[in-house]
Chain A
Amino acid sequence: AQTVTQSQPEMSVQEAETVTLSCTYDTSESNYYLFWYKQPPSRQMILVIRQEAYKQQNATENRFSVNFQKAAKSFSLKISDSQLGDTAMYFCAFMKANQAGTALIFGKGTTLSVSS
């Protein structure tokens, strides 16, 4: 069975600073996908970034980037130049590849607070 662990229940950062959210996972699959979702107070689930396990290059989306370490089964999210709108709960998620109709497995989440 797959598990996703987020060891930081809460994090805080000042505007314009950089913050890194940790995520580790456990799986025996060789091919899979990893995601970071953001859930602001409105409770919408917003896809932030995704990484295919077979790609060595770390994914980047504007101010968001990941550090994907496949051997260590680590998938951290770095938010650069933090903004007040980044305040949200962030979930790391795992999904098997090559298997249609597979659900996401979520970590427990990290609540990020960005202050001015």
Chain B
Amino acid sequence: GAVVSQHPSRVICKSGTSVKIECRSLDFQATTMFWYRQFPKKSLMLMATSNEGSKATYEQGVEKDKFLINHASLTLSTLTVTSAHPEDSSFYICSAGLGSGSNQPQHFGDGTRLSIL
């Protein structure tokens, strides 16, 4: 079946470091991928929509200069948390639809647990 791979699964780094998270669709092409953030025991909050070959669409309140998104190919989107601070610590998870049609369910990566010291 369709699989979305997310890497790394866990990152611990010092404040001020930039961290890159990759999201890959392994056996299908995804023109659109989504990045979510999740706090413990809370729901997934959409951060941005990643569009292949064009700029990402950010949700209100999400700093685009803080959370850089690149979707350079049909199988890879990256989220870079720039100059990370402890308040950026969270669980980040990506998803991709199986096809361009909206009737396809989204498949999720396994998430990245980011801890900023």
Q: How many B residues touch A, CB cutoff 8 Å? A: 26
Query: Distance (Å) between the CB of B102 and the closest chain A CB?
Result: 5
B32 interface residue, CB < 8 Å from A?
A: yes
A91's closest neighbor in chain B, by CB? B43
A99 interface residue, CB < 8 Å from B?
A: yes
Given known A-B contacts A101-B31, A103-B49, A104-B95, A89 and B41 have beta carbons under 8 A apart: yes
Determine if B51 and A101 form an interchain contact, defined as CB atoms under 8 angstroms apart: yes
Task: Mark out the residues of chain B between 87 and 117 whose CB falls within 8 Å of any chain A CB in the assembled complex.
Answer: 91, 93, 95, 97, 100-103, 105-108, 110-111, 113
Chain B contact residues, majority secondary structure: strand
Q: Which residues in B have their C-beta under 8 angstroms from that of A97? A: 102-103
**B38, B97, B106, most chain A CB atoms within 10 A:** B106
Determine if A52 and B102 form an interchain contact, defined as CB atoms under 8 angstroms apart: no
> Closest 6 CB pairs between A and B?
A45-B108, A101-B32, A100-B100, A108-B43, A106-B43, A103-B34
- Chain B residues engaging chain A, CB cutoff 8 angstroms: 31-32, 34, 38, 41-44, 46, 49, 51, 91, 93, 95, 97, 100-103, 105-108, 110-111, 113
25 inter-chain pairs at a CB distance below 8 angstroms, sorted by A residue, are A33-B102, A43-B93, A43-B111, A44-B111, A45-B93, A45-B111, A47-B107, A50-B105, A52-B103, A91-B44, A97-B103, A98-B102, A100-B102, A101-B32, A101-B49, A101-B51, A101-B100, A101-B102, A104-B34, A104-B95, A106-B43, A106-B44, A107-B43, A109-B41, A109-B42
- Chain A residues engaging chain B, CB cutoff 8 angstroms: 33, 35, 37, 42-45, 47, 50, 52, 89, 91, 95-109, 111
